[in-house]
């Protein structure tokens, strides 16, 4: 399946690109709270989730008073 077949965003996640969105979906992470609990190191280890996606997610979490676990 191509990432073009996936939605641009899921849950309350910001736009981070379809490859990153796909990687999170495979892990069952569809919310910002889920991203926060998933953690920075695990995010960085996912194929399709690069520094830009992590930065966007971290900024969105911070704007909501949350942060990525380490």
Residues contacting residue 53 through CB under 8 Å, at least 6 positions apart = 16, 17, 20, 43
Q: Considering the entire predicted model, what is its pTM?
A: 0.88
**Each residue's pLDDT tens digit, 51-67:** 999 999 999 999 999 99
Structural domain tally of the chain? 1
With left for phi above 0 and alpha for psi between -120 and 50, is residue 28 left, alpha or beta?
left
**Each residue's pLDDT tens digit, 3-44:** 667 777 789 999 999 999 999 999 999 999 999 999 999 999
Decide if 69 is inside a domain.
Answer: no
The domain in which residue 56 lies consists of: 3-63
Decide if 68 is inside a domain.
Answer: no
Decide if 53 is inside a domain.
Answer: yes
């Amino acid at each position: 399946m191509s990432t073009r077949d996936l939605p641009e965003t899921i849950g309350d996640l910001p736009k981070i690109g379809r490859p990153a969105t796909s990687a999170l979906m495979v892990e069952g992470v569809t919310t910002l709270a889920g991203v926060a609990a998933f953690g920075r190191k695990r995010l960085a280890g996912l194929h399709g989730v690069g520094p830009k996606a992590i930065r966007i997610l971290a900024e969105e979490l911070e704007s909501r008073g949350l942060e990525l676990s380490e």
